[in-house]
Amino acid sequence: MKYQAYLKRIGYVDQPQADLATLTELHRLHAFAIPFENFDVHLNKGVELNKQHVMKKLVELNRGGYCYELNGAFHDLLCEIGFNVKYLTSRPMFGYEEVRPKTHMILLVDIDGVDYLVDLGFTGLNIIEPIPLSFNIEHWQAGFGFRIIQQHDPAFCEKAEATYIMQTCLMDSSDWLNLFSFDLVEQAYVDYILPNHFNCTSHLSICTHKLIAAIYKPNGRVRLVDNQVKCELDNQVSTYVIQSAAELKQQLLQWFGLAVDDEQSQILFDVAMT
């Protein structure tokens, strides 16, 4: 198949089948292998949604990406294998008090009449394995909790059609926090051109004023936000503060497998310290 290099990148060695076991393994390996990162926004490269460009970035250049790149590429891989996959758009809620626009790409996969939510690109707060579209059922993955609840979209009155909210429980907390709301209206890939432009250029986008990288490990998660590395591993949480561009370069390679040159690390460090 044409995605052999992609499968090799994430460490998948079996013959893929359009079943739940394959979907789960692909999703899990992807979460461990390819990090979330928004570096191109800060390096003035922009984020291209051209599928060949995205595949080259993720597979050949060993980079990461954000939701349109990670979930978009995963969508095409799943379709090539034979899965029934839909694009959906969700409304980010984590860290926001105000209502946000719908900008986050997620996927819905139908396997034998059961819908599974797929997401590899929510700033490192996403699920590690797909979860069924069922409500109030807790799913614990690498020390983090996830569940879907039914609730009205916060952008509309209570008479509006009910939508769904993905929630998480962090490793160092017992509280359930809203990640994003979503409905089941299918989107086309072209529908992400405007949200992508918003995330790349708007001062209202977290991607334009925060440096972010994140990756899962079998025993937890590591996230970089600006100059702080938060390690949530083995049910222990620690934070490390990066003091220089050289240190940032080293940490990116150590934790996320991301190689940047000296000029890029200085630009990214300046963003982190702004």
Joined together, the tokens standing for residue 194 give: 């405007």
> In terms of DSSP bridges, do strands 131-132 and 114-118 run parallel, antiparallel, or are they unpaired?
antiparallel
Q: Give the whole-angstrom CA distance, residue 15 versus residue 82.
A: 12
What is the band of 44 on the pLDDT scale with cuts at 50, 70, 90? confident
What pLDDT, in 10s, does the model give residues 238-258?
A: 999 999 999 999 999 999 999
pLDDT at 162: 60
pLDDT at 1: 58
What is the band of 135 on the pLDDT scale with cuts at 50, 70, 90? very high
pLDDT at 46: 85
pLDDT at 157: 57
pLDDT at 106: 99
The least confident of 16-25, 33-42, 89-98, 213-222 is: 89-98
Residue 214 structural domain: 4-273
Q: Which residue has the tokens 């949530």?
A: 232
pLDDT at 131: 98
Taking alpha carbons only, the member of 45, 274, 75 closest to residue 186 is: 75
Report pTM.
0.95
CATH of residue 246: 3.30.2140.20
Count of structural domains within the chain: 1
What residues have CB less than 8 Å from 21, skipping those under 6 apart?
A: none
Cβ–Cβ < 8 Å for 132, 111: no
Tell me what the pLDDT averaged over the chain comes to: 94
SS (H, E, C) 8-53: HHHCCCCCCCCCHHHHHHHHHHHHHHCCEECHHHHCCCCCCCCHHH
The least confident of 23-32, 134-143, 171-180 is: 171-180
What is the band of 56 on the pLDDT scale with cuts at 50, 70, 90? very high
Q: How many percent of the chain have pLDDT more than 70? A: 96
Q: State whether the Cα torsion 206-210-211-216 is positive or negative.
A: negative
Q: Is the predicted pLDDT of residue 159 greater than 60, yes or no? A: no
Q: Give the whole-angstrom CA distance, residue 5 versus residue 8.
A: 5
The least confident of 42-56, 73-87, 123-137 is: 42-56
Joined together, the tokens standing for residue 190 give: 């072209």
What pLDDT, in 10s, does the model give residues 189-217?
A: 999 999 999 999 999 999 999 999 999 99
Question: Identity (one letter) of the amino acid at 40?
Answer: D
What residues have CB less than 8 Å from 18, skipping those under 6 apart?
A: 81, 82, 83, 111
Q: Which residues pair with 30 in a beta bridge?
A: none
Burial class (CB in 10 A: 0-12, 13-18, 19+), 133: middle
pLDDT at 156: 66
For helices 20-33 and 67-81, give the axis angle rounded to 10 degrees.
150
**What Rg value do the Cα atoms of the chain yield, rounded?**
18
